[in-house]
């Protein structure tokens, strides 16, 4: 079975929730209110996090979230450094790249229409 990377923000977008304003989350990077809600829902609904909260092991959930954020940052660090060196407005470049990437992830190259 092929692996698919999907998240709750994609579900919100298909349901017609707009992406709204742009946020820069301190550890997690570029986002918007819908992505932030999706991130929280994905975090809380993960099986390991549900198990950890039911067994009062909050440190496992927080450790996983921190490790995920650090890993994501390290995977993109070289690219982000190149963008910073080559752009006149780093913030605007990151904003544009984020919108393009999320738009592609949300659409899966398919245009969704609501009935």
Supply angle C-alpha 74, 75, 76, rounded to 5: 90
Confidence of residue 112 (pLDDT cuts 50, 70, 90): very low
User: Strands 23-25 and 29-31: what pairing?
Assistant: antiparallel
Domain boundaries, the chain: 28-106
How would you label 34-44 residue by residue, b for 16+ Cβ within 10 Å and e otherwise?
Answer: bbeebbeeeee
For residue 109, what pLDDT is reported?
60
Confidence of residue 114 (pLDDT cuts 50, 70, 90): very low
Give the pLDDT mean for 5-19.
Answer: 80
Q: Please state, in angstroms and rounded to a whole number, the distance separating the CA atoms of residues 43 and 92.
A: 28
Q: What is the largest CA-CA distance in the chain?
A: 49
pLDDT of 93 over the 70 cut: yes
Tell me the average pLDDT of the chain: 82
């Amino acid at each position: 079975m092929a692996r698919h990377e999907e998240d709750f923000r994609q579900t919100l977008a298909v349901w017609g929730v707009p992406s709204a304003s742009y946020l820069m989350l301190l550890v997690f990077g570029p986002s918007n209110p819908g992505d932030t809600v999706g991130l929280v829902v994905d975090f809380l609904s993960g099986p390991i996090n549900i198990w950890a909260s039911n067994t009062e092991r909050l440190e496992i959930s927080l450790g996983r979230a921190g490790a995920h954020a650090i890993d994501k940052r390290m995977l993109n660090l070289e690219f982000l450094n190149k963008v910073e060196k080559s752009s006149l407005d780093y913030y605007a470049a990151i904003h544009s790249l984020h919108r393009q990437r999320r738009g592609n992830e949300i659409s899966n190259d398919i245009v969704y229409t609501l009935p």
